[in-house]
Chains A and B, each alone.
Chain A
Amino acid sequence: MKRTMTLNLTEAEMSVLERLCEGKGLSKTALVRQALRLYKSVDERLERGEKVFVESADKAEKIELMVL
């Protein structure tokens, strides 16, 4: 079963959402769903005590993602 909600976003947030939707070929619902899954999977890893890193393209910099 699916449930519906209203989402209040600022102008800036809405334009980011719309740009992402266009780029990824997803509806707003599908994009929020994907964002939620990703957020959850990163959060899970951190909760398990694992580390999540972001590495710069030239591998010169590696930043640990601490908290979401």
Chain B
Amino acid sequence: MKQAIGTIPLFGLESGKFHDAVLFQGVDLATLQGIEASWTPMFDTAAAENRPEDAHWEWAAKALQALQNPLNYEIFGIEADGKTQGMMLVVKGGAKCFSRHPEHPRMPLVYVDFLATAPWNRRGLIESPTYKGVGRVLFMSAVSLSIEEEFAGRVALHSLPGAEAFYRDRLSMTDLGADGDYQNLRYFELSTTQARQLISAWP
């Protein structure tokens, strides 16, 4: 259910050098419990008093069991220092997986349902984040899945306002404008050509 894909580098902002982290496909109960224990209290200090109880985890375990071998999605996570540093859920079929890009309208693509990093890696939340690179590695996992699914690396997502520059400038995605059907978040696509250029990029 949870499977290691490989060791990947994350840049430690305090040490100023790269650290080894592991990229996983799939999710297990321990991952979810880790998120509750380490992510949630940083978002909401009151959360510590309201930790889910055993019954919640019994339900979560059952839910996860039924979620094995999904048809439409894949979930990825990155772990370092025994903690989840980021997670991404991608959808690979259904209504959201058709391109809106003028280069290839209606071609199939991988849609990122969410890409989230641990709160201690977020510039918007704390002054000195721990790791840099979580978003980059997760995004490249989506591109890799897209290639494996024969979608030529095409990826789409709705960026949160603070991340628009990252997707537009660093990942060279096309900004297709604010999406009224999705809280007015801007919709971005990595086209076939952009995917090819991104992978061969050598800064």
Contact = CB atoms under 8 A, between A and B. Distances in A.
A and B from one complex: yes
A24 B105 CA distance: 10
B150 A38 contact: no
Contact of B150 (A30, A36, A37, A41): A30
Contact of A37 (B93, B107, B152): B93
B108 A24 contact: yes
Contacts of B95: 38, 41-42
A49 interface: no
Q: What is the interface residue range for chain A against chain B?
A: 10 to 19
B92 A37 contact: yes
A34 B107 contact: no
Q: What is the interface residue range for chain B against chain A?
A: 10 to 19
Contacts of A14: none
Nearest to A26: B150
A19 interface: no
Given A24-B108, A38-B93, A42-B95, 5 more contacts: A25-B150, A26-B108, A27-B150, A38-B97, A40-B71
18 contacts: A26-B108, A26-B150, A27-B150, A30-B149, A30-B150, A34-B93, A34-B97, A36-B93, A37-B72, A37-B92, A38-B93, A38-B95, A40-B93, A40-B94, A41-B72, A41-B93, A41-B94, A41-B95
In the A-B complex, the 7 residue pairs with the smallest Cβ-Cβ separation, listed nearest first, are A37-B93, A41-B94, A30-B150, A26-B150, A37-B72, A34-B108, A37-B94
